[in-house]
Amino acid sequence: MKADIKALPFNEIEEFITGLGEPRFRARQVIDWLFVKGVTSFAAMSNLPLGLRAKLDACAFIAFPEIVARQESNDGLTRKYLFRLRDGETIETVFMRRLWGRTVCVSTQVGCRMGCRFCASGLGGLARNLTAGEIYDQVLFTQKDVKERISHVVLMGMGEPFDNLASTLCFLQNITHPSGLGIGARRITVSTCGIVPGIRALARLGREFGLAVSLHAPYNALRDQLVPVNRRYPLEELIPACRDYTAATGRRVTFEYTLVAGLNDGLEAAAELVRLLKGLLCHVNLIPFNRVSERAYSAPAPEKVKLFRDFLKKHGIAVTVRREVGGEITAACGQLRRAKSREAVGKE
Ligand code: SF4
């Protein structure tokens, strides 16, 4: 069976190439072609001897994505991609042009099995995990398409990164490597719905990756409904893991809190949130619910958002309200993919 070369960490690619009887510098050339230049065939690796190109072709393949749809926001600051993978599955990637740099939001799975109640990605369940290469290529092929250097990456698209732990860790290793795109760990944020062993595995790397946790509720009873993984990793396990993460990395944790009208937007919830996060190096990002037609939740009133935010602030919690970004281009995770599948179904 041919090896999926882009799914491997760089040290294994080196072993693979030296295992073919080639000197180590050839591995560095191959890595450069694959992970910096983004070529899609061994034939295109023009500084490799023809014999090596043929040898690689015989024992490995290069998986690469194809752009099948692009949507750009009216202000030109956000662009959403739908990529088709080798097996025909599709994933979403979002490019954001901001004052501080160029960010790509990547997917880590095709679909998701976590079932967070207000998320479009979870509606169709999990189709499969992405390989490390398929995660990496979302950054590389977006960079090639926009012709601007990507400075930041967030793992906040479709899928739960820690439900695909091995590929996520391999991706983080490759994307930060100086022979790859060399994006600094501080500029990469991993977002999780709260898989505690994943948080602990990331902490063990001892690097300064950002960590964002989808909290959405300060009580187990409510969080069990909104983020079902809470039944496996309840708040009394999740919050200590986050405290340990800040101790291991020195980074503050971002808690994402989607405000849903009548569910978790009251001052009682805000007070419980203050109690839960007391003394924790963190920041709360309030996200007024972005309506997804399939779910029966609705957006909170703007004055409720303000009251909630002011309460946290008054009690010493760093808090921001996420402004609507790219609403007109269905920027909530999973929505472009679902819209495209509906289109496809409509055509059949
Ligand atoms: S919010 Fe994230 S983890 Fe939860 S269902 Fe959506 S993609 Fe999965």
CA of 43 to the centre of ligand 1 (A): 39
* Residue 97 CA: distances (Å) to CA of 87, 147, 151, 249: 30, 12, 10, 27
pTM for the model stands at: 0.92
**CB environment 315-340: b (16+ within 10 A), e (fewer):** eebebebeeebbeebbbbbbbbbbeb
Summarised one tens digit per residue, pLDDT across range 74-126 is 999 999 999 999 999 999 999 999 988 999 999 999 999 999 887 877 778 99
> Is residue 59 part of an annotated ligand binding site?
no
Active site residue 303: no
Per CATH, which fold does 66-329 belong to? TIM Barrel (3.20.20)
Residue with tokens 């070529």: 39
Active site residue 272: no
Q: Are 190 and 167 in contact (CB under 8 A)?
A: no
SS (H, E, C) 107-135: CCEEECCCCCCCCCCCCCCEEEECCHHHH
Q: How confident is the model at residue 209 (pLDDT cuts 50, 70, 90)?
A: very high
Q: Where are the domains of the chain?
A: 3-61, 66-329
94 lines ligand 1 (CB under 6 A): no
- In short, whether 159's Cβ falls inside 6 Å of ligand 1 is yes
Residue 157 Cα to ligand 1 middle (Å): 8
What's the mean per-residue pLDDT of the chain? 91
- State the pLDDT at residue 336: 53
Q: What is the pLDDT of residues 22-47, one digit of tens each?
A: 999 999 999 999 999 999 999 999 99
Q: Work out the average pLDDT over 251-278.
A: 96
To the question of whether residue 107 is assigned a binding role by annotation, the answer is no
Q: Quick: pLDDT tens for 44-72.
A: 999 999 999 999 999 999 999 999 999 99
326 is in an annotated binding site: no
**Strand-pair partners of 66:** 84
- Residue 304 CB neighbour total at 10 angstroms: 17
CATH number for 3-61: choose from 1.10.150.20, 3.40.225.10, 3.30.360.10, 1.10.150.530. 1.10.150.530
Q: Do 3-61 and 66-329 fold alike per CATH?
A: no
Q: Name the catalytic one among 14, 22, 92, 134.
A: 92
Question: Which residue's alpha carbon is nearest to atom 3 within ligand 1?
Answer: 160
pLDDT tens digits, residue range 325-339? Answer: 434 444 444 555 555
